[in-house]
Amino acid sequence: MIATARLAWRQLWRDRRLPVALTLLLALALVAIALDQVRATEAERDRIAADTLDRETFRTQGARNPHSVAHFSRFAFRPRLETMTLDQGVSDHAGTAVWMEAHRQNPPNARAAEDHLDLGRSSELGLAWIWQVVAPLLLVGLGFDAIARERERRTLPLVLVGGLSLPSFVAGKALSLLAVFAVALLGSVAMSSLVGGGYPVDDRVARTAIWIGGYLGYLVVWTAITLAASVRARTSRGALVTLLGIWALTVLAAPRIVATLADDQVPIPSSTELSAAIERDLKEGFDGHGPADQRTKDFEARILAEYKVDAVAKLPVSFAGLKLEEGERVGNLVFDKHHAWLAERYAKQRSWRRGSSLFGPLAALQHLSTAAAGTDVEQQLEFARQAEHQRRDIVARLNTDMIAHGTGKDFDYLADPILWTRIPAFQYSAPSLDRAGMRIDLALLAVWVVIASLLLGWTVRRAAKELVP
Amino acid sequence: MTSDELIRTSRLGKKYGDVTALEALDLTVCAGEIVCLLGANGAGKTTTLQLLLGFTQPSSGQAWIAGVDVAREPQRARARAGYLPEVVELYPLLDGIETLAYFEQLAGRRGDADGVAASLERVGLPSSAFRRRVATYSKGMRQKLGLAVALAKGADALLLDEPMSGLDPSAANDLVQLLRALAGKGAAILMVTHDIFRAQQAADRIGIMRHGQLVEEVAATAMTPQEVERLYVHHLRDAA
């Protein structure tokens, strides 16, 4: 097996396919990493500058009414994780900053793809794209004739009489292909680690290992398919045409068709549509809560009864503060309802996209890859959830202060500036691996590895019975 | 079956659909013996070799290499055989040493350069060609390298498909001498050829095949090349 692998490397090197493929893979990886590094450096510089300015402005704003401060509020920035070089995922198309203010759960904005249209266009040229799209094509280019050409030039019978079984010979060829691509894969990951930077992730090693494991599985699938076609085809040209067809269908066509179907079947509302739906609920009522005017009247009556007074002016606390807090409570219920619905839509879309796993392992790999890199939709939603948690905490602290100290002054009350320094800054925490939801995609990928291996085994066993047409 | 019957078939047959490629072939090649099969294209000569190597399944009958049933244990049977195909292309980007070293390694040998070079010399490949890529070889040189590959593992049974093809008269004569020497050391050689003169020169027995049947089997030593040719042409005419 080793002798066969060595022979294959020697031949692939001499017919220049191996150096060309390796150079192309590593050069593309280098360009992708360099581009990413430029973007990462710029994004982190901007984030740190904006975050510093935001903290300083918030801290030094002087004596103000807490509710004014709740509207002035702050930004929550999503840092660029150190694992993002592996797969940019949705990061360039998802917002990186949330404006945290009273009464509103704002969606993340400041999308990299909007800020850098020129780089945004090339954002597909990432490590993930190279290994998902380019690598299988190169693997086909290196392996389509691995067995078919041996049959064409009559060396296959010599090898079989020489002492190798067909399965061992095919295993040697598989080893030669896999080893080349595995080395290039590890090389590209090593390059990205050397130049990488960004926000530290606790489980970086485990994430990178899962990422590499996923791509190795993907390469095993493509190696098995390539060799099965090469064993099955009568000519190497026939094998090449078949494999290019499989590549075009499974890598180019199927994911896009399924993504379009997913968008059609499970449409995601725009942020404007979502805001309008939230406003409508707040104004007109929702889930047993009446319209806004009615809620205000009911709340006032409830507070007066609770404090056993007959007028707002007689309350021992700031009614404006209480009303603001109630507004937040009700608003949060509406936000939770709509964002839970939105998260459910995203999950349904993901399930739809997983449907393209019927055609190949790419969908599972893409989910696994972005999840491991921390750039999938779920982890973007997690950032929004953390930002929302922070927003609620800030608003609650400000309302509590106003309720306690704003009695009789309401919006004329000015809080001590020391209050601003007591409000903690947003600290993003990357979700742990077990929350990244990779199990289904790992399982799907494993199923594909098994299917492709069985297909190759069956093809080889069948061919071994009748080696001569 | 005796232990020196290294190549043997019994009622061996092969059909491709309605076409009979080989029918009820009974053939034995013992240790130290060279048997040549003569016949027109499509007579079943190459099919016989393919069945003996387990590259295709027989429709009827059985074949054994060194007592191993080929259909049941093809890999074990092949392990006892050496094979030279009719068309030898080999690996154009490797040189002669690298090519033979690979096949020696497959046979479980070291495949070191000195040993490989000696094997190439034995089949008459010029030493200047050892480190040249096979792509630059003439047909005769490829044939010699192919023969070296067939001999690489020192197999008991040799199955040679047109081994003289592409060889100049001197090289063909050398090959005959080499085959005789191998047979002298106990190898059983089954050779398929169109070259009546070399067949008569090399073989102990000659079989003539027609339409998938062995129609005549004669002792080569008892006949002159002209007599073999007359017999062959006679059967060809019958075939026509």
Q: How far is the C-alpha of A450 from the C-alpha of A462, rounded, in Å?
A: 18
The answer to whether residues A194 and A187 touch, using CB atoms and an 8 Å cutoff, is: no
How far is A461 from A465, CA to CA, in rounded Å?
Answer: 7
The C-alpha of B239 sits at a distance from chain A's nearest C-alpha, in angstroms, of: 25
pLDDT of res. A354: 80
Token pair 């693997």 is at which residue? A139
In this complex, is the C-beta atom of A19 within 8 Å of any C-beta atom belonging to chain B?
A: no
* Per-residue DSSP letter, B68: E
Alpha-carbon distance B56 to nearest alpha carbon in chain A (angstroms): 5
ipTM of the complex, rounded to two decimals:
0.90
Alpha-carbon distance B86 to nearest alpha carbon in chain A (angstroms): 9
Enumerate residues 6+ apart whose C-beta is below 8 A from A400. Answer: A321, A325
CB spacing of B56 vs A468 below 8 angstroms: yes
Q: Residue B35 is inside which H or E element, if any? A: strand B34-39
Cα–Cα distance measured from residue B135 to residue B145, given in angstroms and rounded to the nearest whole number? 12
Residues of B in contact with A460 (CB under 8 A): none
* Residue B168 scores a pLDDT above 90: no
Which residues neighbour A162 within 8 Å (Cβ) at sequence distance 6 or greater? B103, B106, B107, B149, B152, B153
Q: Do B57 and A3 touch (CB under 8 A)?
A: no
Select the residue of B53, B85, B153 nearest A154 (Cβ to Cβ).
B85
Q: Domain span at residue A345?
A: 2-465
Query: How remote is the C-alpha of A195 from its chain's centroid?
Result: 21
Please give, rounded to a whole number of angstroms, the shortest distance from the CA of B149 to a CA of chain A: 8
Contacts of A10 in chain B (CB under 8 A): 93-94, 98
Burial of A459 (0-12, 13-18, 19+ CB in 10 A): buried
CB A130 within 8 A of CB A365: no
What are the residues of chain B with a beta carbon less than 8 Å away from any beta carbon of chain A?
50, 53, 55-57, 74-75, 78-79, 81-83, 85, 87-91, 93-94, 98, 102-103, 105-108, 146, 149-150, 152-153
**Are the C-beta atoms of A290 and A299 separated by less than 8 Å?**
no
Q: Tokens in use for B121?
A: 């010399």
| Residues comprising chain B, all counted | 240
- Mutate which: B14, B78, B106, vs A, most A CBs within 10 A: B106
Q: Is residue A163 within 8 Å of B105, Cβ to Cβ?
A: no
Half-sphere CA count of B158, side-chain side, radius 13 A: 33
Q: What angle do CA B157, B158, B162 make, to 5 degrees?
A: 155
Give the mutation candidate from A158, A160, A176 for the B interface (greatest B CB count, under 10 A). Answer: A158
Mean pLDDT of chain B: 89
Please tell me the predicted confidence (pLDDT) of residue A163: 84
How far apart are the C-alpha atoms of A359 and A452, rounded to whole Å? 12
Instruction: Give the contacts of A341 (CB within 8 A, at least 6 positions apart).
Output: none
Contact between A455 and A225 under an 8 Å Cβ cutoff? The reply is: yes
Strands B68-69 vs B60-65: parallel, antiparallel or unpaired: antiparallel
The predicted pLDDT at position B196 comes to 86
Buried b (16+ CB within 10 A) or exposed e, B60-70: ebebbbbebeb
* Distances A134 to A127, A344, B218 between C-alpha atoms, Å: 10, 33, 63
- Interface membership of A205 toward B (CB under 8 Å): no
Minimal Cβ distance to A158: which of B50, B94, B149: B149
Determine the Cα–Cα distance for residues B57 and B54; give it in Å rounded to an integer.
Answer: 7
Cβ pair B195, B164 in contact under 8 A: yes
Which residue of chain A comes nearest to B101, CA vs CA? A3
A10–B93 C-beta distance less than 8 A: yes
- Pick the range with the lowest mean pLDDT from A115-129, B109-123, B148-162: A115-129
| Whether A317 contacts A404, CB under 8 Å | yes
The Cα B64–Cα B154 span in angstroms is: 18
Interface A-B, measured as beta-carbon pairs within 8 A, has a size of 73
Burial of B41 (C-beta count, 10 Å sphere; 0-12/13-18/19+): exposed
Using CB atoms, pick whichever of B55, B79, B106 lies closest to residue A157.
B55
Choice between A2 and B236, residue whose per-residue pLDDT is larger: A2
Mean pLDDT, to the nearest integer, of B80-106? 91
- Closest CA relative to residue A356, chosen from A450, A257, A217, A220: A257
Report how far apart, in Å, the C-alpha atoms of B107 and of each of A154, A460, B52, B147 are: 18, 21, 19, 15
CB B136 within 8 A of CB B44: no
Paired sense of beta strands B60-65 and A74-77, if any: unpaired
The structural domain count of chain A equals: 1
Selection from B97, B207, B203, B198 nearest residue B152 by Cα: B97
> Strand, helix or coil at A411?
helix
Q: What is the pLDDT of residues B46-91, one digit of tens each?
A: 999 999 999 999 999 999 999 999 999 998 999 899 999 888 889 9
Measure the CA–CA gap between A376 and A217, rounded to whole angstroms: 20
Tell me if A467 and B55 make a contact (CB, 8 A cut-off): yes
Structural domains of chain B, ranges and CATH numbers in brackets = 1-28+53-79 (no CATH), 81-162 (3.40.50.300)
CB–CB of B62/B74 below 8 Å?
A: no
**What is the rounded CA–CA span in Å between residue A165 and residue B65?**
17
C-alpha distances (whole Å) from A127 to each of A26, A30, A448, B137 are 10, 9, 22, 44
Between helix A271-284 and helix A292-307 the angle, nearest 10°, is: 50
How far apart, in Å, do the first and last CA atoms of chain A sit?
Answer: 26
Q: How far is CA B53 from CA A369, A465, B74, B90, B214, in A?
A: 48, 11, 7, 19, 19
Strand partners, B130: none
Show the tokens assigned to B203. Answer: 């073989």
Is residue B240 scored above 70 in pLDDT?
no
Listed in sequence order, the DSSP H helices in A131-253 are 135-143, 148-152, 155-162, 166-195, 204-232, 236-247
Tell me if chain B has a CB within 8 Å of the CB of A412. Answer: no
Per-residue pLDDT of chain A in tens (469 residues, 90 and over written 9): 888 999 999 999 999 999 999 999 999 999 999 888 888 888 788 888 888 888 888 888 888 888 888 877 778 888 888 888 888 887 777 777 787 877 777 777 656 545 444 433 444 688 999 999 999 999 999 999 999 999 998 899 999 998 889 999 999 999 999 999 999 999 999 998 887 677 778 788 999 999 999 999 999 999 999 999 999 998 999 999 999 999 999 999 888 888 888 888 888 888 788 888 888 888 877 666 677 778 888 888 888 898 888 888 888 888 888 888 888 888 888 888 888 888 888 888 888 878 778 888 999 999 999 999 888 888 888 888 888 888 888 888 888 888 888 787 778 888 888 888 888 888 888 777 776 578 889 999 999 999 999 999 999 999 987 776 4
